[in-house]
Structure 1
C-alpha cells in the first residue's frame, strides 16, 4: 500500500529539512510506503537474482608481493578489472575479522539508538554532513535508508565525529579508518603505476587528501519494488572501499547497459573506481554506476570510505594517458570546484559526471 503523507520527520524536527524513516518503520512491519519514497521509474535487474554478476576478485597479498617477484599477473588483473568493470572484491586485505566483527556490532548498536539521540548529529542547514537525508523540496523522492555522512580528513566537524559514542569512535572507527587508509594508499599507488604516473605523482595528489565516511542502515520494506535504498550513481571519489555488515545483499551494478545484482564474499571489501580515477586515466578506467535495493525481510548495514585528492589539487588526465592524435575526454578542474559540482545535484546515474566531458 502507498501512503500520500509527506516524508517523515522526527517530532521536534519538522522544519529541519532532514528526513528519517524511523517514524514509520518500527519493530512491526511498515504498513504503508509514504509517497515521497515511491520510485516509479526504476529499471529492473536483468534477472530475478538467478543470474548474479560475479565481480572480479583481487588478492591484496599477491599485489603486495609483486614488488618482490617477477610475477605481475595480479597487477595485470587489477589493470584489466579497472578498465572493464570499475569494481572488484578485495580479499586477503589484512584487516582482522575481529575488527570487522567490532565494526558490525558498533554500527548495529548505533542505528538502534533512539531517534532523538541520533538527531543530535542531524545534517545542519546548508551542510551535507551528519545524520539523515536533506529534503530540498516537498516533491523530492527519498532513498529508503538512514545514513550518517561525514568528512574525516583533513578536518572533522566538532559536533560529529568527536561526539559519537566512545565505543564506536575510539575503539572501532579510528582503527578501521587507519586500516582502510593503508589499503587505499597501496591500491592508489599501484593504480598510478599502471597509469604510468611518476611514483610520487599519485602519492602527492592523494596525500592528506579528502576522506569521508558514510554509514547506512537500510530497513526492510514489505514493498521493496516501490523503493530504492540508494539511487543509481557513480562515486565522486578516486576509489571507494565498501564493507557490507552482515550477509544481506543489495548492491547492483550497471554493466553493458543492464543492471545485475552483485554477490561478494563475506569478509571481502568491495572497491569501486570513482569518477576522479576515470578523469585521471582519461576514460581508460571506468567509474561504475551502481545502486542499492532493499530487502523485504532483513535490514542491511554498510560502511563506505571515499578517498579523494586534497582540496587544493587540480585534476585532469595524466600526461601518459593523453593521446596526441585526439583531444582529451576530460579537461582540468580544481578539486574544490569538483566537490562543489558533485554535491550540487541529487544522485542521477552518471549524468552529472558526463557533463564534465570536454
Structure 2
C-alpha cells in the first residue's frame, strides 16, 4: 500500500540566532544581558519540588513500565505479572501522562551509537550544521521551531528536526554525512523506537477495551525526530531562562532518549515541577495530545519543560509518533461510548498546520481541539 505523499507548505518557524554560537563566544563577547534579552522570562518559573509535598517527604518519581513483562507471559514465576504491568501502564497514562520504559528490546549499542552520533553532529562547526538549516516555511532541518513572532520569549536551545517514517516522508538532503555513522544509526534507531511505540499503543488499546488495536497503533505510523542541544547559560541559576517552554506534545506518543546525564526534563504535577531523572537504558514516554483526543480525555497529555544548566551542556533525542497524512484524528467511538465527544475530528494535515503555526504555550493545542 502506497503512502500518501507528504504535503508541502505546512508552515515553519521564524529564524532566530544560533544559541550554541552565542553560548560559545569568547569572553569579550560572552553572554550579556543585551544578548539574553529575548530569552529572559518576565516571571521566572519557581521550585521543582511540588509545593504541597510535606516537609521531609521524598519527591514523587515518574512511573517505570517493564515492556517485556507487559507483553510477554510471566517469566519470573509471579502470578499476574502481565496484569500488574498493564495496571501500571494504565495508571501512568491516566494519572501521570509520563513514564519510563525499560526492557524495551532496543540493543544497548544502538542507543549508545545514537547518542554518539548526536553528540558528534552538534560538535560540528556551525557552518557545517548551517548547511542543513531549515528553509523558509519548512520545519525540517537545523534551527528552531514554534517561533511565530519577533516579540515572544525564546528558548535557550537549538534543534535538528527530521521526518523519519515512513521512508517516503524523508528529505535525505538533510540527513547529515557527518558523523559518518549518522545515517545508518538513525535508520536503526528509528525503526526500533517505532516498534516500541506501536507495542505501547497496542497495550494501551488493550487496557481501554478497544478491539481493533490498529485504531491506536496507527498513531505510530508516522515518525519525526527532534535532536535538542541545550548550551549552558549563566542565567540558568535564577530559573529565568528555559531550554524548552512549558507545553504538551501535539503528537500521539513521544519517546525520549536522554543523551546527557545532566538533568533538565521536568513535568508539571500537582502545582509544581517534578524532574525526570535519566535512567540508564530507559526511554522516557509521554502521552501526546492526539492520544488524549483519541481516548476522549481518559489518557491525558501533560505539560513539561526543559531547564538549562549554568555550567554544563545537555542533549536529548525526542522521537514523535503520529498518524500518517491522509488520515483523521478524533475520539474513538469504542472509547466514547455513551459519552459526548470532547474533542473535534480533523485531518492530520489540518492538525499539523495548526501545530506548526502556534508557539509552545501549555496545552493550547488541546484548547483548540476541544468542542465548546
Closer, same or farther: CA 279–19 of 1 in aligned 2, 3 Å: same
Between 1 and 2, higher relative CO (CA 8 Å, sep ≥ 6) is seen in 2
Verify: 1:310 aligned to 2:324, yes or no. yes
Contact 1:146/1:216, CA 8 A, preserved across alignment: yes
How far does residue 355 in structure 1 lie from its aligned partner after superposition?
A: 2.3
CA distance in 2, matches of 1:346, 1:286: 20
Contact 1:205 1:313 in 2 (8 A): no
Indicate the SS of the match to 1:39: coil
TM-score (norm 2): 0.85
CA distance in 1: counterparts of 2:116 and 2:194, whole angstroms: 22
In the alignment, which residue of structure 2 is the partner of 1:37? 39
SS in 2 for 1:222: coil
2:174 maps to which of 140, 160, 167: 160
Q: Distance in 2 between matches of 1:173 and 1:52?
A: 35
Q: Indicate which of 210, 217, 224 corresponds to 2:229.
A: 217
Compared with structure 1, are the counterparts of its residues 18 and 159 closer, same or farther at alpha carbon in structure 2 (3 Å cutoff)? farther
Q: In the alignment, which residue of structure 2 is the partner of 1:146? A: 158
Alignment-derived partner of residue 89 in structure 2: 78
Residues 158, 262 of structure 1: alpha-carbon distance in 2 compared, 3 angstrom cutoff: closer
Query: How many angstroms apart in 2 are the aligned matches of 1:158 and 1:46?
Result: 40
Relative to 1, partners in 2 of residues 1:352 and 1:237: Cα closer, same or farther, differing over 3 Å? closer
Question: In structure 2, which of residues 127, 133, 144 is the aligned counterpart of residue 133 of structure 1?
Answer: 144
Alignment of 1:223-234 (within 5 A): 223-224=235-236, 225-234=239-248
Alignment of 1:1-358 (within 5 A): 17-26=15-24, 30-33=30-33, 34=35, 35-47=37-49, 52-66=59-73, 71=81, 72-133=83-144, 136-154=148-166, 155-161=169-175, 163=177, 165-170=179-184, 172-202=185-215, 205-206=218-219, 209-224=221-236, 225-324=239-338, 326-358=339-371
In the aligned structure 2, how far is the partner of 1:275 from the partner of 1:67? 32
Higher mean Cα deviation, 60-69 or 182-191?
Answer: 60-69
Deviations 1:285-314 (A, max 9, x none): 010110000011111000010000111111
In 1, the alpha carbon distance for the partners of 2:217 and 2:263 equals: 36
Q: d(CA) in 1 for partners of 2:293 and 2:74? A: 27
Q: Which runs of 5+ in 1 are unaligned?
A: 1-15
CA distance in structure 2 between the aligned counterparts of 1:52 and 1:213, rounded to whole angstroms? 31
- Match for residue 12 of structure 1? none
